[in-house]
Amino acid sequence: MSFSDLKSKVVWTNGCFDILHRGHIEMFKHCYELAGPEGVVVVGVDSDERVKSLKGNDRPFNTIGDRVEILRALKLIDVVDVFSTDEELKGLIGEVHKPDIIVVGEEYKYQTVIGSEFVNDVSFFPRLGKYSTSSILERG
């Protein structure tokens, strides 16, 4: 049985979430609000190999095991799933969790959002200030 069978709103977001920062937390709050009191927030996390391919050999800073456990500890998130490829990501969205809404950063507004063909709505979350994992790591 999928979450969509429970008649509650399912909200999906995904990313590396290598070093959590205020921007991530605000996005998770947004997901939680969109899901509503009976809803479910599902977070997809890029595998270590995928982060390396996207961000370079110095990343991820935190292992997938650590990133997953940190995300699972947040009360704003109900489910955490790991994916390594675009195909796995599509499968999690279209076949496993079947969300009503996908939340992505506004920088993806003019790009194809993976899995968007399976949902009713894509919500573009505005970047909060200059928060980013890359900038945090650059500062040392």
Listed by start position, the domains of the chain span 3-139
The whole-number average pLDDT for the span 65-84 is 98
- One-letter amino acid at 60 equals P
List the end-to-end C-alpha distance of the chain, in Å, as a whole number. 45
Residue with tokens 């479910």: 40
Q: Using CA atoms, how far apart are residues 62 and 104, in angstroms rounded to an integer?
A: 22
pLDDT of residue 127: 77
Q: In the beta sheet, which residues pair with residue 40?
A: 10
Q: Using CA atoms, how far apart are residues 138 and 140, in angstroms rounded to an integer?
A: 5
Give residue-wise pLDDT tens across range 94-106: 999 999 999 999 9
pLDDT of residue 6: 56
pTM across the whole model: 0.88
Please provide the average confidence, as pLDDT, over all residues in the chain. Answer: 90
CATH fold of the domain at 3-139: Rossmann fold (3.40.50)
Give 24-82 as a DSSP string.
HHHHHHHHHHHH-TT-EEEEEEE-HHHHHHHH-TT--SS-HHHHHHHHHT-TT-SEEEE
